[in-house]
Amino acid sequence: MMIDADNGVINPNRFIEEFILEDKDLIFYDRIYDNEVAAGSYIAKQWADMDDRPLPKLGDTDNIAIHTILLYTTNINPDQCGGLWWNAKNFTDIFAYIACIRILLGKDLSWKKRIAILPKRTAWVRDSWLTDSKWCENDFIIHGWKQSYMNKERLYRRKKWTCPFVSAAVNLSLCTQESYVLNWPYRADLKKKCSVIDKHLHSEVTAAVSQILVYDKLALSYLNKNPSVNSSSTQ
C-alpha cells in the first residue's frame, strides 16, 4: 500500500485487508469533496511509472498525473483531454481536465478489469477537515495530519486539524501486545456517533456533486470544440 506521510490511523480496530480486492492490480478511491481519484493512498499489486514523459508546470503532481495513467490502461487517446492540462491557467482548468478524464473513462470500461476506484465514503482513508477533526468507529485512516498545522486555528479550513489524542506519545513496546490500543488515548470531545459523521459527509458529497457538474460542463465544452483528436489510442 502506498500512503502519504500525513495520513494516520485513527482506529486500530480496522484493517487494510477489508479493502483489498483480489482480482484488481490497483485500488484507488474517489475523494469525497471533488472528482479526483485520490493519489494520497492506493493499494497496488503492480505499478508503472510515468516513464520520462514531460509534465505541465501547473498541476504537475501525482494526484493529477494519476488520472492520465488510468487512461493508459484503455484504448482511449489521452491527448483528447491533454490540451486542458497543458494550457491550464488556474485550478478550474485543472479540475476541468480531471472531469474530462473521468468522462472518457466512462466511455471505455476496460480499465475496470484490473483497476478499482472505490466510491466516495467507502475507502480506507478520508480527509480530516471534512468533519473538523471529528471521527467515529467507521473511520480507519485520516488524511491531513501535518504536524506543522496541528492545533493551529488561523489556517485555511482544509489545512487545520486538531489532534484527536490526549497524548501523541507512542509506547513501541505495546505494538506487539494485545494492549496496543493504549497507544490511542482519544479525546472524548472529538469521537462522535457515526450517524453524526455520516450526516456531515453526506452534505460534503452533495456539495461536491454540484461542483463536479460545473467541471463536467467545461470538459464537455472542450471535447466538443476539439473533435479532431481521434478517440482511439495511437500508442
What would the mean pLDDT of 135-152 be, rounded to a whole number?
Answer: 96
Residue appearing with cell numbers 493504549: 182
Q: Residue 31's closest CA among 57, 71, 67?
A: 67
Q: Which residues contact 57 (CB under 8 A, 6 or more apart)?
A: none
CB 159 within 8 A of CB 149: yes
Predicted confidence at residue 235, as pLDDT, reads 42
Sheet containing 141-143, strands listed edge to edge, beginning at the edge strand earlier in sequence: 7-9, 141-143, 125-127
164-173 contacts, C-beta under 8 A, 24 or more apart = 164/10, 164/133, 164/135, 164/190, 164/191
Write out the DSSP string of 5-19. Answer: TTEEES-TTS-GGGG
pLDDT score of 234 more than 50: no
For the segment 102-117, the average pLDDT, to the nearest whole number, is 93
Rounded distance between C-alpha atoms, residue 116 and residue 134, angstroms: 28
Average pLDDT over residues 102-113: 92
Task: Give the burial class of 200: count Cβ atoms within 10 A of its Cβ; 0-12 exposed, 13-18 middle, 19 or more buried.
Answer: middle
Domain extents in the chain: 1-235
Query: How confident is the prediction for the chain on average, in pLDDT?
Result: 88
Q: For strand 26-29 and strand 41-44, is the pairing parallel, antiparallel, or unpaired? A: antiparallel
Q: Where are the alpha helices (DSSP H) in the chain?
A: 62-71, 79-86, 91-105, 194-225
Q: What is the rounded average pLDDT of the residues 146-162?
A: 90
pTM: 0.84
Q: With bands split at pLDDT 50, 70 and 90, how would you rate the model's confidence at 52?
A: low
